[in-house]
Structure 1
Amino acid sequence: MSTPSTPTRGRPARLDRTRTVLTALDLLNESGLDALTMRRLAQAMNVQAGALYRYFAAKQDLLTAMAEHMVDGVADAAGPAGDGDWSERTACLARALRTALLAHRDGARVFAGTHATGPNTLRFADALVGVLREAGFGDGDAARALYSVANFTVGHTLEEQAALTPGDGGPTDAGALREAVVAGTYPHLAASLPVLTGTDFTAHFEFGLRLLLDGLRAIHR
C-alpha cells in the first residue's frame, strides 16, 4: 500500500474562502482599511491576485465577507427568548456589536460600507427585532428600532475609531477644538470642553444608548 505524499516544505496553504477572510482581517488590523488591497492580500497569501477572484468578484465582496465574520456570535448577547427586560437585552446587543467592531482596526468602516446578508448579520438583526416583538412592539416599530440601534452603534464606533487612530483625529483634533473654543467667544462650549475633548467613549456611547432606549420606552407605553 502506498503512503500518502508529504507536502513540500514551504508550500503555501491551499487557498480557500475562510483563510482569505482571516488573512484580510489580519492585514486590516496591521495596516488599516486604506492599505488593504487585493494585490497586497494576494502577496500575503503567496498567490496570484487573480486567484482571489475565485471567491470574491470584487474587493467589496471581500469586505462584506469580513464584516460578516466580525459579527460572529454578536446575536448571542440577546440571551434566551423572554429572559430579562427588553431594554437591557437590546442594550446588550448594541454593546456586543460595538465590541465586535472595535476588535478590528477600522472595523466600523468595513461594516458601514457593506450590506451583509450572511447568517451572523441576520441572526443579530433577527435577535434584536425578536426582543422587541416579544416585548409587544409592533412589527414596524421593531424594524425601525433595529435601524436606529444599528446606525447609532456603527456611527458612534466610526467616530470612536477615527478619533483613536494615530494621525487621524485623536489628540490633534481635540487640541485644535480646544484652541478654537478658547480663542473665541463660546462660553457654553468652553464649559463643556472636558467632555467634548475627552476620550471616555464608553460613557459617550452609554449616554446615547440610554437616550435611544428612553425614546423606545416612550413609544412602547
Structure 2
Amino acid sequence: MPLERIVSTALLVVDEEGADALSMRTLAQRLGSGTATLYRHFDNRTALVAHVVDRMFGVVELNGGELLAMGWQQALRTVAHTMFEALARHRNAARLMVEEIPMGPNAMALREHCVAALLDNGFPPRLAAHAFATLARYVLGFAIQVNGHGDGGQRDDAHLSGVFQGVDPALFPATATVAGSMPVPIEDEFSFGLELLLSGLAHLRDEV
C-alpha cells in the first residue's frame, strides 16, 4: 500500500475524529487492511504521527532562495502565517505537534530555510535557534487555541462579546472601557503578537 495513501488517511482520521483517535488499529480499519501492513512502514504510532506532522509542514511551499530574498522578518512572518492557516484547515492536527519536535524532511527543510535567513541577517547561532523555536511554539500555541481542545470545539466570540458587554463598569471600569473591542479576534491576536515578537527579535539582534 502506498505510503502517501496511508499518511493521507491518517490525517483524515485526525481531522474527523481527533488526535487521540489515531491508532494503528483505527487506521488499518479505515484503510480496510490489517495492522501488519502499517507496521511495514512504521515501527509504532510515534513514527506514524511523525509522518502526519511532517505532511503539515509540506504545505509551506517556499524555497530557501525565496525566503532569503524576503528579508528575515518577512520570511518568518510568511512562514508563521502559512503554518497557522494550514493548522486552521486541519483543526485537530495541532495537538499531534505537541507530542514531539518535528524532525521529518519537510520540517527540517523549513527550519533550515528560516534559520539560514536569520544567520544571514546578523543573528548569532544561539539567538537564531531561540528565535525559530519561539516562533514555532507561538504558532502552535495559537493553533491549539483557535481549534479548541479534545472535543474540537472552537471559541465562541459572539458569546464572549455579550459577556464583555455585560461587565459591570462599577466593578471592572477598565474592562468596561474596552468591552466594545473585546474579545479580539484570534487571527488579529495572532498577527499583533507576531509583530511584537519580530520587533523584539530585531531589538535583540541589534544589541548583539
TM-score by length of structure 2 reads 0.84
- The one-letter code matched in structure 1 to 2:188 is A
User: CA distance change for structure 1 residues 61 and 167 in 2, over 3 Å: closer, same or farther?
Assistant: closer
CA displacement at 1:111 relative to structure 2: 1.8
Identity %: 27
Pairing partner for 2:112 from 126, 129, 142: 126
Query: Relative to 1, partners in 2 of residues 1:172 and 1:102: Cα closer, same or farther, differing over 3 Å?
Result: closer
Post-superposition shift, 1:35? 2.9
Pairing of 1:80-119 with structure 2 (within 5 A):
80=66, 82-119=68-105
Q: Distance in 2 between matches of 1:74 and 1:20?
A: 21
Q: Hey, what's the Cα distance between the residues in 2 that align with 1:84 and 1:172? A: 34
Q: Does residue 209 in structure 1 map to residue 194 in structure 2? A: yes
How much does 1:80 deviate? 2.4
Any idea what the Cα deviations from partners look like across 1:84-122, whole Å, max 9, x if unmatched? 332112111111121222221212112222322111001
Distance 1:63 1:160, change over 3 A: same
3-state SS, counterpart of residue 117 of structure 1: coil
Shift in alpha-carbon separation, 1:56–1:196, aligned structure 2, 3 A: farther
Aligned with residue 29 of structure 1, among 12, 15, 18:
15
Is residue 45 from structure 1 mapped to residue 28 from structure 2 by the alignment? no
1:170 to 155, 165, 168: 155
In 2, Cα distance between the equivalents of 1:56 and 1:193?
51
Most deviating of 23-32 and 77-86 = 77-86
Q: Mean alpha-carbon deviation: is it higher for 110-119 or for 65-74?
A: 110-119
Residue 196 of structure 1 deviates from its aligned partner by 4.2
Q: Which of the pair has more CA radius of gyration?
A: 1
Give structure 1 stretches of 5+ with no counterpart.
Answer: 1-14
From 32, 36, 47, give the equivalent of 1:61: 47
Aligned counterparts of 1:177 and 1:37: Cα–Cα separation in 2: 40
Question: Is the CA contact (8 Å cut-off) linking 1:108 and 1:154 kept in structure 2?
Answer: yes
Which amino acid letter does the alignment assign opposite residue 102 of structure 1?
A
What SS is found at the alignment partner of 2:42?
A: coil
Equivalent residue number for residue 124 of structure 2: 138
User: Where do 1:154-165 residues align within 5 Å?
Assistant: 154-162=140-148
Native 8 Å contact 2:50 2:102 kept in 1: yes
Residue 60 of structure 2 corresponds to: 74
Helix, strand or coil for the counterpart of 2:58? coil
Structure 2: state its 5+ residue gaps: none
* DSSP 3-state at the match of 1:197: coil
